[in-house]
Amino acid sequence: MPPARPLSLVTGASAGIGATFARALAARGHDLALTARRSERLETLAAELRQQHASTVTVLPADLADPAAPAALCEELARRGLAVDWLINNAGYGVPGGFVASDWHTHAEFLQVLLAAPVELAWRLLPGMRERGYGRIVNVASLAGHVPGTAGHTLYAPAKAFLIKFSQGLALESRGCGVHVCALCPGFTYSEFHDVTGTRALMNKLPGFMWQRADEVVAEGMEAVERGEAVHVTGRVNRAIKSMFKLMPDRLAFRLSARQARRYRQLD
């Protein structure tokens, strides 16, 4: 059984899907630990959640591009006597342009944030969840992890595909422990993501039916992890896209993906 007031740790909580997860969990009666780089935004969100939902909210600014950050974050939680019941591994971003257009340090930080940090946080927090017999881990992946990779944002799809496979394995390992693990796979979602990567003008060319709101994504994710789904693709359109690519011959799927990517990827 969950505790009376579960504690949820949300990474990348300063905006977008992360902030929406924080609001939805607070509305459910959760206390929150929020982390991201932008401390001012975290403090503003924390004040909102305390006022609207009487949640206890702990703000822990951190840059997950620092390899030492996950351990330091968990050590600070332990020092404060906070046991995490829900882990929302949401922090992420894209590196636009061709692979060799960015220096290696940029790619290394990307891999640290999208791969190493979520895996380490799960590794550090999962034992406590298992010991208490209750826990939920949501790894925010992407529809991109289910379709062929494309030029531009070259590491993004592989990183999300890794999170999907990682979540599946961890979900199987956690069966019978009261811990559910889910890779949440949204498609195009209204957020700051494309403003940060500088691809907003390209994304605005996509039709409206391709997009979901962050609150729709989060609602589906919370329901999916509670049901025990190891992987959940949000929205009917995205599920149809996944199924279509799964049924296509690999060569055709690759060609179609490459052609469509020219519409919304920065390729150089």
Catalytic residues: 156
Over its C-alpha atoms, the chain yields an Rg (Å, rounded) of 18
What is the DSSP secondary-structure string of 2-49?
Answer: --SS-EEEEESTTSHHHHHHHHHHHHTT-EEEEE-S-HHHHHHHHHHH
DSSP state of 208: G
DSSP state of 141: -
Which of 11-20 are b and which e, b meaning 16 or more Cβ less than 10 Å from the residue's Cβ?
bbbbbbbbbb
Amino acid 19 reads: A
Q: Which two tokens stand for residue 265?
A: 């990827």
Provide the CA 151 distance to its chain's centre, in angstroms.
Answer: 22
Report the sign of the C-alpha dihedral through residues 169, 171, 174, 176, in that order: negative
3-state secondary structure of 253: helix
3-state secondary structure of 184: strand
At 160, phi and psi to the nearest 5? -70, -35
Q: Judge whether 143 and 185 are in contact, CB under 8 Å.
A: yes
